[in-house]
Amino acid sequence: MGDLCFAESLDMLEESEYSPWVKTIFEGIKTGAKLRSMRILSGFTDYLIKDWLFKMKSVRAKQWEHWNYSKDRVDRRLARTPDRPDLWTKILEKGAPDDVNGLSLGEHHSTASLFMIAGTETTATALSGTTYHLLMNPDKLALLQREIRSAFASLDDMNLESLARQKYLMAVLQEGLRMYPPVPSALPRKVPAGGAEICGEWVPGGTTVGVHHLSTYRDPDCFRKPQEFHPERWLGDPEFKDDKLSALEPFSVGPRNCLGKVSRRRSFSGQTLYVLSLTFFDTEPCVA
């Protein structure tokens, strides 16, 4: 994602270690999940975390650490023109920071900070989980390899549109997201003032609600053989005809859903995880 955003690699393959930036992102996500769980225990724990812990110098320093990593890379990217296009090439087509029609410099910085959280750990987690389940189910892996190799003569033939037409690939990605959702907990929302009816129950205004992804996707009321990896459920297999496929929304819905979604519906949510197919173009029947 660093390369895609800023035409500048994070060089994590040089020494097989995470960059300090990525370590900060991972630690922040894990710590945030724990603190979120503690905040909803009571009003007292919410106060302690929100009004005391979050304002500690050490915590603020970690927040600024991530911000400065992305800020510095944006500043370097704006100071040069790379040999090939990246995301900032498109952003700058709308106007430079000093252009009245463009983003302000601060907006460039905040956009980069968001990209480097939303576009990195979630994709890496989903691809890792999907790869694991394919390796544990070699018959499914063989089917995917056969589809990819019969559809493309070389890597140069692959693009977003051609990959999206590979039905088994899309089914594998959906099943991977079901078995190993990158956001396994609930994505909380607040009930508007005045309350609302949710699933036949009246919920008071101001209540925090959410759908817990991992438990929903492993619920036998929603999916047959929920603990097993079966991409065929997304391809109309009669064995899974009663599956509630619409229960899978791994990156939420509505105005707060994933920034990286392709605007493509049907039974697939069309994530940008199409890059997974590149993994299976080896000549040997394994994932490299």
Q: Who has greater pLDDT, 131 or 16?
A: 131
Question: In this structure, is the dihedral angle defined by the CA atoms of residues 279, 114, 27 and 19, taken in order, positive or negative?
Answer: positive
Q: Tell me the C-alpha distance between 134 and 138, whole Å.
A: 6
User: Confidence band (pLDDT; 50, 70, 90) for 285?
Assistant: very low
Q: Provide the residue ranges of all domains of the chain, joining segments of one domain with +.
A: 2-118, 123-280
Cα of first residue to Cα of last residue in the chain, in angstroms, is 20
Q: Who has greater pLDDT, 98 or 2?
A: 2
pLDDT at 49 over 80: yes
CB contact at 8 A, 166 and 147? yes
State percent of the chain over pLDDT 90: 35
pLDDT of 233: 97
Whole-number mean pLDDT of the chain? 82
pLDDT of 261: 62
pLDDT of 90: 85
Q: Tell me the C-alpha distance between 18 and 68, whole Å.
A: 17
Mean pLDDT computed over 27-50: 82
User: Confidence band (pLDDT; 50, 70, 90) for 83?
Assistant: confident
Mean pLDDT computed over 48-75: 82
pLDDT in tens, 167-220: 999 999 999 999 999 887 788 888 999 999 998 999 999 998 888 899 999 999
Structure tokens at 99: 């252009």
pLDDT at 117 over 80: no
pLDDT in tens, 235-263: 999 999 999 999 999 888 887 777 666 44
pTM here?
0.76
How far, in Å, are 2, 46, 72, 151, 194 from residue 106 at the CA level?
19, 30, 12, 44, 36
Query: Which DSSP category does 262 fall into?
Result: -
Please name the amino acid found at residue 286.
Answer: C
pLDDT of 158: 92
**Multiple choice CATH, 123-280, 3.40.50.2000, 1.10.260.40, 3.40.630.30, 1.10.630.10:** 1.10.630.10
pLDDT of 143: 97
CB atoms under 10 Å from CB of 97, counted, come to 15
